[in-house]
Amino acid sequence: MINFIEWLASTSGSTALRESLYMYPWIESAHVLFIAIFFGTLLFVDLRLTGYGFKSLSISQMNAKILPLTIIGFVLMSITGLLLFYALPIRNYQNLFFRIKLFLMFVAGLNAWYFHRTMNRQSQTWDKNSFIPFKMRFSASLSLLLWGLVIISGRMIAYNWFDCDKQPQSELVNFLISCTVDPEIYEYLNGI
Amino acid sequence: MESNQLLEIIYFLEDSFIGEYVRSSLWLFPVIQSFHLIGLGILGGAIVLGDFRLMGILMRTESTSYVVQVTRPWFNFGLIVLVTTGIPLFLSEAVKCYYSRAFWIKISCLIAGILFVYFIRNPIVLSRDENYSMKFLGLVSFCIWVVTAASGRWIGFS
């Protein structure tokens, strides 16, 4: 994996992005705007599912009217996000917050998959009702919580507190970021 | 002379208790910033849905006043989160902000955006006054808030 990441960092596109004065800030700003579109529209979808917001619309109407924009926001956010990763592949790959963020996104994805699978099966029974099964309300709240945490951990990627080139780190941190260091570092940490 | 007085105030703000406190902590600035981003997501959602409806892009079968009515409290909530997290962020680096062009663009757009939404967009839409172009109201509001958010992000690069 690290070989692939190192190769990615050596490509000319990555170098150009990394060294450009304005490209990186522009992509970063666009990423933030797309986050606002994605998270902001998802907020109203999930609010409806927990019984707030656009209550006079049925859930399937909400999904049909707003989810397309949420998906557009997600795609644009992912493209800009991948470009930001591509600019600094090694740094991101070995960044603790980046890994936490990927994990949280994976869980958020599972939650969304579970939600839509269940909804497709049984939504007819509660689509227009004000009563929404607890499981579904829980899943919608979890979605907001997870994406909120994704935003927070994403913001933290910029900080190098747990980076591989900033030693000494604890053994656990180095394990989590796949960072190999001289074992003497741990002896130093343990005060031997 | 006026700007010197302003700069004195800026130094006073930077030396304030909150400014000192945020600066003295390694974690506080990033954590407050994260919640600032969440606030942006909340306000962004209310603005995107409201303004896209005004522009006729989304939810065309719902009335403009209904969409603005539903999104309005979330706009307020997002704005409260943004202002309460934005103030300590500003206090911790007031002098840097003073010399940052992005900061002044952001503050100008923020004030314009707040005035436009509370005194022009919402009253017109909620009164269902049909003498005004809803598309225009939505477009102006959306542009102001996009520039506010983007120039805000840019403070960090300057």
Show the low-confidence residues of chain B (pLDDT under 70): 1-3
pTM: 0.92
Structure tokens at B96: 């840097």
Q: What is the mean pLDDT of chain A?
A: 89
- Rounded Cα distance between A48 and A16, Å, is 44
Alpha helices in chain A, H assignment, sequence order = 2-10, 12-19, 23-49, 59-87, 89-93, 96-122, 134-156, 171-176, 184-189
Q: Cβ distance A73 to A38 under 8 Å?
A: yes
Confidence of residue A192 (pLDDT cuts 50, 70, 90): low
Would you call B45 and A53 a contact, using CB atoms and an 8 Å cutoff? no
Would you call A40 and B157 a contact, using CB atoms and an 8 Å cutoff? no
Would you call B66 and A44 a contact, using CB atoms and an 8 Å cutoff? no
Q: Cβ distance B45 to A44 under 8 Å?
A: yes
Would you call B74 and A53 a contact, using CB atoms and an 8 Å cutoff? yes
Give the distance from residue B142's alpha carbon to the nearest chain A alpha carbon, in angstroms.
12
- Closest by Cβ to A29, choosing from B31, B70, B154: B154
Residue numbers in A near B66 (CB within 8 A) = 56
Provide the residue count of chain A.
Answer: 192
- Maximal C-alpha separation, chain A: 67
Alpha-carbon torsion angle A23, A26, A30, A32, nearest 10: 110
Give me the pLDDT at residue A27, please. Answer: 94
Give me the pLDDT at residue A122, please. Answer: 73
ipTM metric: 0.91
Q: Among the listed ranges A92-101, A171-180, B19-28, B49-58, which one has the minimum average pLDDT value? A: A171-180
Residues A110-137: tens digit of each pLDDT: 999 999 888 877 766 777 666 788 888 9
Residue A36, φ and ψ in degrees, nearest 5: -60, -40
Residues A138-160: tens digit of each pLDDT: 999 999 999 999 999 999 999 98
